[in-house]
Amino acid sequence: MTEKKLIPLAINGGIGFGAKLTPKQLIALGTYLDEDTEIELTTFQQLIIQVSEEKVETAKDELEAVGFSVYKVGPYVKSLRTCNFCQGADEEGMPVAIELNKRIAGQEVPFTLRPAYTGCPNACGEPLINDIGVIKRLEHYELYVGGQAKGEDARAAVLLKDKLEPDQLYDLVDAVLEVYRKNGRKRERLAKFIDRYGFENLKKEVRIS
Ligand code: SF4
């Protein structure tokens, strides 16, 4: 008998007030998993499940229908990790976080990239220890790049540009990803790429003077 091929999928409950799941979502999830299957819970608010190859498309549709977001596992931009938006959705820019996530999550990059968003400078979503970090400060957004939580060369992300309007933020994140995609080596983390390529060169490429 040939063994069925399993495909890993990363899922999360979408961007909202905290990382929450509903019973409806958990029931839908259970229908695609064998009883003894293990589910990996990542630090990035994602569950990693293994679904048999022939069920992947149906599983994606049905999981999305109950509010899950479904992503590929591998060298892609992960879904945006966010804070809990404790001061309110609009005050803390939840619509901007949702739009940013829609634009970047799942994009192919040289190495898995973790973006994080936080609705005020308290930075509960830990944007400075992720590859790309966004902080909302009053009415504008700050973009940080190259943070790294793991390894002996762990470091905080560096401010690339502040006082950004939402559209400027989306465009700038896209530009950074494009430079990284074109010039990064296979399996080279963003922080390492910036070390090699040069922060000033990155700024020049994305047209920040
Ligand atoms: S970062 Fe600010 S808005 Fe977000 S949960 Fe923390 S205190 Fe609340």
pLDDT in tens, 173-208: 999 999 999 999 999 999 999 999 999 999 999 998
In short, whether 97's Cβ falls inside 6 Å of ligand 1 is no
**Residue 130 contacts residue 114 (beta carbons within 8 Å):** yes
Atom of ligand 1 nearest to the CA of 87: 3
CATH architecture assignment, domain 6-72: 2-Layer Sandwich (3.30)
Query: The domain 81-205: what is its CATH number?
Result: 3.30.413.10
**Residue 176 contacts residue 145 (beta carbons within 8 Å):** yes
Q: Which residues of the chain have pLDDT under 70?
A: 1-2
Nearest Cα neighbor of 195 from 155, 143, 151 is: 155
Q: Which amino acid is at 53?
A: E
Residue that is written with structure tokens 């700050």 in the block: 142
Distance 17 CA to ligand 1 centre (A): 10
**Residue 197 contacts residue 183 (beta carbons within 8 Å):** yes
Between CA 175 and CA 157 the distance in angstroms is 17
Taking only Cα atoms into account, the Rg of the chain, rounded to an integer number of angstroms, comes to 18
- Ordered by start, the domain boundaries in the chain are 6-72, 81-205
pLDDT number for residue 195: 97
In short, whether 128's Cβ falls inside 6 Å of ligand 1 is no
List of residues 6+ apart from 50 with CB closer than 8 A: 6, 7, 8, 9, 37
Distance 111 CA to ligand 1 centre (A): 28
pLDDT number for residue 1: 56
